[in-house]
Chains A and B, each alone.
Chain A
Amino acid sequence: MVKAIEATGIPVVHICTVVPISLTVGANRIVPAIAIPYPLGNPALEAGEEKKLRRSIVEKALVALETEVDDQTVFEG
């Protein structure tokens, strides 16, 4: 799906847990997520903290979208 959308020229950022799969599939902007059942959350955290964590990942995704890339890029850390 990432590629079919990006084929229109609209940039796509893929937030996913298993980064090697995303690389194989061919996503260009990749942001690693937390865990498979909750990529953008962590049930062990208190609700406010969890939302902060989610926001930090979405923020990373936005930065990825603001960054020019020539090739597949994983936005870590």
Chain B
Amino acid sequence: MSIKVVHYINQFFAGIGGEEKADYKPEARDGVVGPGMALNAAFNGEMEIVGTVICGDSYFNENLEEAKAAILEMVKKYEPEMFIAGPAFNAGRYGAACGAICKHVQEELNIPVVTAMYEENPGVDMFRKDLYIVQTGNSAAAMRKAVPALSKLALKIAKGEDVGTPVEGGYHARGLRKNLFVEKIGAQRAVEMLTAKLGGQEFETEYPMPVFDNVAPGAAVKDMSKAKIALVTSGGIVPKNNPDHIESSSASKYGKYDISNVADLTEATYETAHGGFDPVYCNVDSDRVLPVDVLRDMEKEGRIGSLYEYFYSTTGNGTSVKNSKAFATEFAQDFVNDGVDAVILTST
């Protein structure tokens, strides 16, 4: 008798549609859908996907509690012994959804769960402490490698076998400590690591230091009626026809656009280059993502001192943390040089 599994995927992997279908409400289908087929094959008869639950990424994240409750009911009906979500690769909303639903199912149904995503997916940091999250590449092109890794760890977890260390098991470190017996005493291991380090060889630390890179909050603006406010967005707002050819995802650049003579972003003048959400509403009125119209009004009324003459824009989907940081470090110098007092950053 194979172990019964319910699989969770988004609207894209279910073949329902892209961003225009991201508001798709939860739906259960018997058997496998999309990537479930390859997972099922990799289970080799030891486990079987008996049902698949599909939900749009935007719907899930915008209606978190309702979506979790509805999906839990659908999952329950199949009486599964294991729950798998994804892989989500570097899709941020999908990763957040996979993590949230895995955690919910684990807590409510008390069955083992596992998901999979790329290290920079925000879902990893949100849920790594709660879940086993298998490491994958950053796009669906890595599916062929992700499937065996995910199915292998899923089988181990379902059968209650030892999953090993994060490196051995191929999952994102959860920050758990486990007592174990080793042959060599600590002093010996430490000296071996040190000599390896001095010799420029690879070694694996037994206690990785946490990375704290939070930034202290900037001081509050004292007099908003004199403040110069700058606008930045990860929503990909660009002048019509995207003159700088900013990529629709995994952006390698940002745009800097003069709005000193712009009071309103219109359908004729601006659009979004972002490929990670349904662009229809934004293309009709880009103020819905970058509120230039309202800030101009506020400037006139004296609520703010002035709106900075440029806005900065890139597409946030799949764009690496490294690139985003480099972009902002560069253009933040303009803010410093031109005396910008505060920044409003909008994300879709």
Residue contact B96 to A40, C-beta cutoff 8 Å: no
Known contacts A43-B281, A65-B342; is A28 also within 8 Å of B217 by CB?
yes
Q: Which parts of A3-39 form the interface with B (CB within 8 Å)?
A: 3-18, 20-22, 24-29, 33, 35-39
Known: A7-B215, A36-B58. Is A14-B295 also a contact (CB below 8 A)? no
Choose one: A15, A20, A28, A43; the contact of B346 (CB below 8 Å): A15
Bound Cα distance from A70 to B92, whole angstroms: 27
Nearest CB of chain B from residue A37's CB, rounded to whole Å: 5
With known contacts A18-B93, A39-B346, A65-B221, A1–B327 Cβ distance under 8 A: yes
Q: Would you give the shortest CB distance from A47 to chain B, in whole angstroms?
A: 8
CA distance A29 to B344 in the complex (A): 10
How many residue pairs link A and B with beta carbons under 8 A? The number is: 194
Give CA–CA (A5, B293) in the complex, Å.
23
Q: Which one of B39-47, B130-138, B186-194, B332-340 is at the interface?
A: B332-340
Tell me the nearest residue of chain A to B327, going by C-beta: A1
A9 CA to B341 CA in the complex, in Å? 9
Least CB distance, A18 to chain B, in whole angstroms: 5
Interface flag for B126 (CB, 8 Å): yes
Assess whether A54 is in contact with B288, with CB atoms less than 8 Å apart. yes
Contact of A36 among B214, B220, B277, B280 (CB under 8 A): B277
Q: Verify if A76 is at the interface (C-beta below 8 Å from B).
A: no
Q: State whether B215 touches A3 (Cβ < 8 A).
A: yes
With both chains docked as a complex, state the minimum distance between the C-beta of B222 and any C-beta of chain A, in angstroms: 8
A8 to B61, CA, bound (A): 31
Q: Which of B9-17, B73-81, B296-304 contacts A (4 or more CB under 8 A)?
A: B296-304
Q: Is the CB of B345 within 8 A of A18?
A: no
CB-based contact A17/B348 at 8 Å: yes
Q: With A14-B345, A24-B126 as known contacts, state yes or no: A36 contacts B93, CB within 8 Å.
A: yes
Chain B hits for A12, CB < 8 A: 218, 342-345
Which residues on the B side are within 8 Å of A69 (C-beta)?
A: 217, 220
Q: Within 8 Å CB of A57, what residues of B? A: 291
* Nearest-Cβ distance from residue A20 to partner chain B, whole angstroms: 6
Task: Check if A18 sits within 8 Å of B96, measured CB to CB.
Answer: yes
Extra A-B contacts (13), CB below 8 Å, given A6-B216, A62-B298: A2-B345, A6-B215, A8-B335, A10-B332, A11-B342, A17-B348, A20-B126, A37-B277, A37-B280, A38-B288, A40-B290, A58-B298, A71-B217
Chain A interfacial positions (CB closer than 8 Å to B): 1-18, 20-22, 24-29, 33, 35-41, 43, 50-51, 54-55, 57-59, 61-62, 65-71
